[in-house]
Structure 1
């Protein structure tokens, strides 16, 4: 699960916090704290899905400190991107993709993000033996009811 885009609709109009969202200011590094919009109902909706949730975000462990408590998630494991963090690839595959496939260890998985491309889908198809869903979420809107429906259907094998 990515944070920025799916859980934090960072691309929404800056003066219009989406309905149902709350604002936090996360001091995750030097400089001004980040404005983050989170919907507290997302945690329960994610926990209701039959997935082993994990963070796949640049926030990595910090998601457990700043994001999880606000939306009602327990501490979750996270994909450690290590040297892949923000590393560009000449083939156009997102820098997260290889690490997420490795983290899945051959298990079916759903990756919820706002930055996947056809190159990522192709990479996953070539390098991952099990079913995988790369689900794009509009970063202007964040997760919505239809997204949870798609995730539930994928988990059910539909």
Structure 2
């Protein structure tokens, strides 16, 4: 699915690392909104208890168009979104070809840039590098923030503050 034109920036969301950190989050953080940590259900994925239900609220508060950019594909809407209080989101469909990405680039970089179709975007992932940032800056006509989230900690207030600063800077430039 290609995105429709809108003025709102896109936020591409990876799941493993940013939303499901490699280390368990403190229980207090997962209960910070007063909600209980969801018990394991029939999905068979014990790492889902690392999701922070507050992440959904904080991501929605950005006022951007959220898009899944994860190998979870449509399962992100079925399994992850309900646990975060998110609606069904558009999903980036990855190319089926076995073509290697350009040297030094993450395999998602070019497909996400194409998907953005000239719109400003934020990419929250744990695997972006300077090579990806340089390539997007040279090949994408709009502003882009490729923000690396620490995969052992997951999405934090500091990460979201960096996104908010970037969004505010864009508003000030308009």
| Interval of TM-score (by shorter of Structure 1 and Structure 2) | 0.7 to 0.9
Q: Distance in 2 between matches of 1:131 and 1:90?
A: 21
For 1:140, the equivalent position in structure 2 comes to 152
Say what the alpha-carbon RMSD is for the aligned residues.
2.1
Q: What is the number of residues matched between the two proteins?
A: 149
For 2:26, the equivalent position in structure 1 comes to 18
Q: Distance in 2 between matches of 1:79 and 1:104?
A: 10
The SS at the match of 1:4 is: coil
Aligned partners of 2:109 and 2:132 also within 8 Å: yes
Q: Distance in 1 between matches of 2:66 and 2:106?
A: 21
* Residue 26 of structure 1, CA deviation: 7.5
- Using the size of structure 2 for normalisation, the TM-score is 0.78
Q: Which runs of 4+ in 1 moved over 4 A?
A: 22-27
For 2:9, the equivalent position in structure 1 comes to none
Structure 1 runs not aligned, ≥5 long: none
- Alignment partner for residue 62 of structure 1, among 63, 75, 81? 75
* Residue 123 of structure 1, CA deviation: 1.3
> CA-to-partner distance for each residue in 1:101-149, whole Å, 9 max, x for gaps?
0111101100000000111111101110110000000011001111111
Change (3 A) 1:33 1:50: closer
Kindly name which structure, 1 or 2, has the bigger radius of gyration based on alpha carbons: 2
Q: Distance in 2 between matches of 1:90 and 1:143?
A: 28
Aligned partners of 2:20 and 2:47 also within 8 Å: no
